[in-house]
Chains A and B, each alone.
Chain A
Amino acid sequence: MSSVRVLVGTRKGAFILTSDGRRKSWNVQGPLFEGWEIYHVKGSPAEPNRIYASQSTSWFGQLIQRSDDGGASWAPVGNGFAYDGVPGTHQWYDGTPHPWEFARVWHLEPSLGNPDTVLAGVEDAAIFRSSDGGQNWQELSGLRGHATGPFWQPGAGGMCLHTIIVSPKNPERIFVAVSAAGAFRTDDAGVTWRPINHGLHSEGIPDPDAEIGHCVHRIALHPSRPDVFYMQKHWDVMRSNDAGESWSEVSGNLPSDFGFVVDVHAHEPETIYVVPITSDSVHFPPEGKLRVYRSRSGGNEWEPLTKGLPQSHCYVDVLRDAMAVDSLDSCGIYFGTTGGQVYASSDAGDSWEAIVRDLPAVRSVEVQTLA
């Protein structure tokens, strides 16, 4: 029988939630790495028992942990994230030059085909690759070295590279997103990059339609359609049908188009999910009602999903890496909140149940569907 493993990163450790395919009864393992901030935990699609975790504190820096037995045991691997060459400067919040400084790993993206190959998105924004299971890391410096690099600026959470998507049809094509620089694409496995932000509109920058400067929060795709992308931007939910060459807004009837997460149903490429948040200055759901919104038409027309979710006095946030889907026949949707709840739906969002309620603030949620 199939089973599900949910990998949860929180502000004070990691947790692994497991269930059989019915997804009614859950085992909770953790906290792992207790007291450390776990920005992201993700398993290898090629070898599900290979899992990588980003472990950090402001005090003692960054570690990468690796498990080869599905999370039962862990060992630290390499943490040498050195920028290639002289890092130079980007823009600080006030527009003045600021040196690139490594702070932490936000996102780990294991290769679709090789469990020893993994990409890491870091703050200050850069992408690194390891080809030896996380022991050694080399920067793909063409991204940070892009001509626009000196003009990138941080979002409120820091200048983080938080989204990495390797095209399921072409491993040399990689998409990344940086807050608050925008989305970028390489077609040569990371040697050269270019911004793909045409159609994005952001009020917080001098030229709202500029090539860079957009605070992209999250991008998602369905593996069967590698050129169709959905984006939750700082404000606006966006869609691209041409691998990021152009974007159009699909916010439609959402109560707020500010938010962090966006994800796609495992079997229905036009069914997408977001969690609206009130605004950039009010990071909780509109009216204190926690609602996932689902569109079955690839955007524009949205329906609220509320069954099992708190519909009063709810003031949590759902951060950008904190939603994931499983690939069981009845697609499961999962998300974690800054209030420490991890909600699961085993019926594509129609109804929800909290797997756990009182974890530390959830930073990331990933799901593995196991045979």
Chain B
Amino acid sequence: MIRVLLPAHLKTLVNQQGEIEIDVEGPVTLRNVLDALEVRFPVLRGTIRDSVTQQRRAYVRFFACEDDLSHQPADTPLPRAVAAGAEPFIIVGAMAGG
């Protein structure tokens, strides 16, 4: 079980509050977590990654265990604490006003 924390706008889209818990098949990588998230919530397709290129959207960041994972290759394993459910995988909208 992986804990995922979405930014406010995406929580609204999926009608969830607080953290989301998802099951991930295979290695707990960035790609597999996002794949599992989009399977459970199809409305998120295109909101975190470009739906064609699968590239992270420019104003979206990925944090976990106080590290910035935004620029890690998609198949890099996430930290053990995330894979074990001890820490959340955090999806963040880049900080900006407006």
Checking B8, B12, B46, B94 against A61 with a beta-carbon cut-off of 8 angstroms, the contacting residue is B46
Report yes or no: A60 in contact with B60, Cβ–Cβ below 8 A: yes
Report yes or no: A60 in contact with B51, Cβ–Cβ below 8 A: no
Report yes or no: B59 in contact with A58, Cβ–Cβ below 8 A: yes
Report yes or no: A60 in contact with B52, Cβ–Cβ below 8 A: no
Q: In this complex, which of A35, A58, A61 has the most chain B Cβ atoms within 10 angstroms of its Cβ? A: A61
A60 with B43: in contact, given A76-B13, A79-B51, A80-B51 (CB under 8 Å)? no
What B residues does A80 contact at CB under 8 A? 45-46, 51-52
Taken together as a complex, chains A and B put the C-alpha atoms of A60 and B58 apart, in Å, by 9
Q: Does A62 contact B (CB under 8 A)?
A: yes
Q: How far is the CB of A39 from chain B (nearest CB, A)?
A: 16
Taken together as a complex, chains A and B put the C-alpha atoms of A317 and B67 apart, in Å, by 44
Taken together as a complex, chains A and B put the C-alpha atoms of A36 and B9 apart, in Å, by 8
Q: Does B10 contact A (CB under 8 A)?
A: yes
Which residues of chain B (36-52) have a CB below 8 Å from chain A? Answer: 43, 45-48, 50-52
Report yes or no: A61 in contact with B47, Cβ–Cβ below 8 A: yes
Q: Does A57 contact B (CB under 8 A)?
A: yes
What A residues does B13 contact at CB under 8 A? 63, 76
What B residues does A62 contact at CB under 8 A? 46
Report yes or no: A60 in contact with B8, Cβ–Cβ below 8 A: no
**Cβ proximity bits A61-90 to B, threshold 8 Å, 1 near / 0 not:** 111000000000000100110100000000
A59 with B46: in contact, given A79-B51, A80-B51 (CB under 8 Å)? no
Report yes or no: A82 in contact with B60, Cβ–Cβ below 8 A: no
What A residues does B48 contact at CB under 8 A? 60
Give the residue name and chain of the B residue nearest to A62 (CB).
B46
Q: How far is the CB of A74 from chain B (nearest CB, A)?
A: 11
Q: Does B93 contact A (CB under 8 A)?
A: yes
Report yes or no: A59 in contact with B43, Cβ–Cβ below 8 A: no
Q: How far is the CB of A101 from chain B (nearest CB, A)?
A: 10
Q: How far is the CB of B23 from chain A (nearest CB, A)?
A: 23
Report yes or no: B8 in contact with A35, Cβ–Cβ below 8 A: yes
For this complex, into which size category does the number of interface residues on chain A fall? 10 to 19
Report yes or no: B93 in contact with A82, Cβ–Cβ below 8 A: no
Q: How far is the CB of A346 from chain B (nearest CB, A)?
A: 35
Report yes or no: B45 in contact with A60, Cβ–Cβ below 8 A: no
What A residues does B10 contact at CB under 8 A? 60
What A residues does B94 contact at CB under 8 A? 59
Q: How far is the CB of B57 from chain A (nearest CB, A)?
A: 6
Which residues of chain A (239-287) have a CB below 8 Å from chain B? Answer: none
Which residues of chain B (1-29) have a CB below 8 Å from chain A? Answer: 7-10, 12-13
Taken together as a complex, chains A and B put the C-alpha atoms of A342 and B48 apart, in Å, by 34
What A residues does B47 contact at CB under 8 A? 60-61, 63
Give the residue name and chain of the A residue nearest to B42 (CB).
A76
Report yes or no: B9 in contact with A35, Cβ–Cβ below 8 A: yes
What B residues does A59 contact at CB under 8 A? 7, 9, 57, 59-60, 93-94
Checking A35, A57, A63, A82 against B43 with a beta-carbon cut-off of 8 angstroms, the contacting residue is A63
Report yes or no: A79 in contact with B45, Cβ–Cβ below 8 A: yes
B residues in contact (CB < 8 Å) with A: 7-10, 12-13, 43, 45-48, 50-52, 57-60, 93-94
Sample (15) of A-B pairs whose CB atoms are under 8 Å apart: A34-B12, A35-B8, A35-B9, A35-B12, A58-B58, A60-B9, A60-B47, A60-B57, A60-B93, A61-B46, A61-B50, A76-B13, A76-B43, A80-B51, A82-B51
A residues in contact (CB < 8 Å) with B: 34-36, 57-63, 76, 79-80, 82
Query: What 7 A-B pairs are tightest by C-beta distance, nearest first?
Result: A60-B47, A59-B59, A59-B93, A76-B43, A79-B46, A82-B52, A61-B46
Other 19 A-B pairs with CB < 8 A, given A58-B58, A63-B13, A82-B51: A34-B12, A35-B9, A58-B59, A59-B9, A59-B57, A59-B59, A60-B7, A60-B9, A60-B10, A60-B47, A60-B57, A60-B59, A60-B60, A61-B47, A62-B46, A63-B46, A79-B51, A80-B46, A80-B52
